[in-house]
Amino acid sequence: MSQVNVERVIGLLATDEGLRRQFMRDPRAALLEIVRRGMELNASELWSLASLDPCDLARFARAIDARLQKTDLQGGES
């Protein structure tokens, strides 16, 4: 477990439009996909991250400069 990994996941959710959209549909599945790709998170971190409010994440993402965002060309606004 690592606070750095939690911060990375929050950063990914804030800057990756496609991942954020997936998280909004199914937070647990999105986080498990992140873990499958190699991010180490323990059960407590997964539970806490899955409990994040998707609307708060979207609001935070809108506050980040668009040049730092990874655009999802397959979907709409998150």
Extents of the domains making up the chain: 3-68
| Contact predicate 1/47, CB 8 Å | no
pLDDT in tens, 29-45: 999 999 999 999 999 99
Residue 39: HSE in the Cβ half-sphere, 13 Å Cα cutoff = 20
Whether 62 has a pLDDT exceeding 80, the answer reads: yes
Give the pTM. Answer: 0.80
| Contact predicate 75/44, CB 8 Å | no
Whether 1 has a pLDDT exceeding 60, the answer reads: no
Q: Which residues contact 77 (CB under 8 A, 6 or more apart)?
A: none
